[in-house]
Amino acid sequence: MKTKEIRELSPEEAGKQLRDLRERLVLLRVQKRAGTVENPNEIRVIRRDIARLETIIKEKAAVAA
């Protein structure tokens, strides 16, 4: 997910996206332990997307305050 796309999301949509990514990350970690993960690189991509979302959410909160 690109930064520009994240900035266009409403706070509710960003929060939902963050929850969905975290759930996906948990599932991928379980699959990795079981040795059935199809694309191990996806874990890194999701972690970075989560970091981007959290950063932008905090930026928006700081501007609003």
The CATH code of domain 3-64 reads 1.10.287.310
Q: For 5-57, how does the pLDDT look when each residue is reduced to its tens digit (9 = 90+)?
A: 999 999 899 999 999 999 999 999 999 999 999 999 999 999 999 999 999 99
| DSSP one-letter string for 4-44 | HHHHTS-HHHHHHHHHHHHHHHHHHHHHHHHT--S-THHHH
- pTM (predicted TM-score): 0.91
Q: Where are the domains of the chain?
A: 3-64
